[in-house]
Amino acid sequence: MNIRDKKVVVTGGAGFIGSHLADVLLNAGNHVTVIDNFSSGSRTNLAHLAENPLVTVIEGDVRDRSLLADALRGVDVVYHLAVQCLRLSFKNPELVHDVNATGTLSVCMESVANSVRRFIYVSSSEVYGSAVSAPMPEEHPLEPTTVYGASKAAGELYALSCFRTYGLQSMVVRPFNTYGPRSHFEGASGEVIPKFVLRMLNDVPPVIFGDGEQTRDFTYVTDTARGIYAASACDELVGQAVNIARGEEVSINRLAALVAQALAKESLRPRHMDARPADVLRHFADTAKARDLAGFSAEIDIQHGVSLYCDWFRSQGYDLKALLAQDAVINWQ
């Protein structure tokens, strides 16, 4: 399917990945409607699109069926990214389930009712749990360790069941550990790279939970957004799941060293704390399917990506001390 000059909806489009995906879609000439309740997404992420006549922003919740019925009328493609985050699932699992699972079913059913031509469910590598084999293909067992991961897996099943039952052209995209500009560094939504950068720029040692040998497959956000778009246009991926990742395994210890190097803060040695509950020990994506079917390969390696992100972060003129003082959720980094 050629996804150019179409009417598309991006739920969670004011979020980190969603706003970058909106950029990619707009560059292809699409009319983009963003649906976001701004619980974690930010209007700042969309500020550069404020004057773009191809952008419509709707403030609302994906559990609101009447809002969805209106917003999806006449839409060609839906990208569903609206989500409540992993760390919130430790404290409020019911909300995370309600938004991530029930909310996904609501978007699926309204897509069916409005004859949406293609539905892309943006899932998460957290559905896999820790790797039992690596690199991890799409057929890897789904053994999520958290309610967040389980809720994302439920959303996958809803999306693909709507393909089998109602003929909705749905697919599942599984990004791995995305980082880059606009990523969250605050509170429960904060991610490890932004938190490392914020702490080191304040001359405070980064915090690593556990021994730091746990690994992730970090993927720069522009690559993730390109990958989602490439997958969504691939007819062969309808009814299937596909990994979107760099395909590079990086330990948290190595990550801390790379951030320190990029910021010239090598003297700041990480502080280790007890491992977090249900933490994934290993993620390393098999990216062959995305490459072979959608023609997608990530371009930015971890060292270059960390350097790019650090440069961007420093260019924002943040009040670093104030941000560090506000970041009270250090134990859920």
CATH number at residue 233: 3.40.50.720
Q: Which two tokens stand for residue 138?
A: 């799409």
| Per-residue pLDDT, 187 | 60
Task: Report the domain count for the chain.
Answer: 2
Identify whether 135 is part of a domain: yes
Residues 151, 206 within the same domain = no
Residues 227 and 117 in one domain: yes
* Domain-located, residue 295: no
Predicted pLDDT of residue 330:
45
Statement to judge: residues 213 and 224 lie in one domain: no
- Indicate if 228 and 315 belong to the same structural domain: no
**155 and 127 in contact (C-beta within 8 Å)?**
no
Please state the pTM of the whole predicted model.
0.96
Query: For residue 248, what are the contacts with CB-CB under 8 A and spacing of at least 6?
Result: 217, 218, 284, 301, 302
Q: Mark whether 254 and 159 lie in a shared domain.
A: no
The predicted pLDDT at position 277 comes to 86
pLDDT of residue 87: 79
- Reading the block at residue 4, the tokens are 């150019």
Give the separation between CA 162 and CA 118, rounded to whole angstroms.
Answer: 11
Same domain for 164 and 258? Answer: no
Burial category of 76 from C-beta neighbours within 10 Å (exposed 0-12, middle 13-18, buried 19 and up): middle
Residue 292 lies in a domain: no
158 and 24 in a common domain: yes
Check if the beta carbon of residue 102 is closer than 8 Å to that of residue 152: no
- Asked if residue 92 is part of any domain, the answer here is yes
Residue of 79, 148, 158, 309 with catalytic role:
148
User: Phi, psi (5° rounding) for residue 47?
Assistant: -60, -35
* Six-digit token string for 191: 């991610």
Co-location of 164 and 186 in the same domain:
no
The per-residue pLDDT for 189 is 59
In this prediction, the residues of the chain whose per-residue pLDDT falls under 70 are: 186-189, 327-333
State whether 264 and 313 are in the same domain.
yes
Alpha-carbon gap, residue 13 to 31, rounded angstroms? 13
Q: Is 229 a catalytic residue?
A: no
> How far are the Cα atoms of 202, 204, 266, 273, 306 from residue 303, in angstroms, in the given order?
21, 21, 15, 25, 5
Domain limits for position 74? 7-176+220-244
Helix, strand, coil share of the chain (percent; to 5): 45, 15, 40
Span 122-177, pLDDT tens digits: 999 999 999 999 999 999 999 999 999 999 999 999 999 999 999 999 999 999 99
Which residue, 94, 159, 92, is CA-closest to 123? 159
Per-residue pLDDT reduced to its tens digit, 299-331: 999 999 999 999 999 999 999 999 888 765 444
User: What pLDDT, on a 0 to 100 scale, did the predictor assign at position 332?
Assistant: 39
Residue 184 is part of a domain; what is its CATH number?
3.90.25.10
Q: What is the pLDDT of residue 325?
A: 86
Instruction: Examine residue 291 and state whether it is found in any structural domain, yes or no.
Output: no
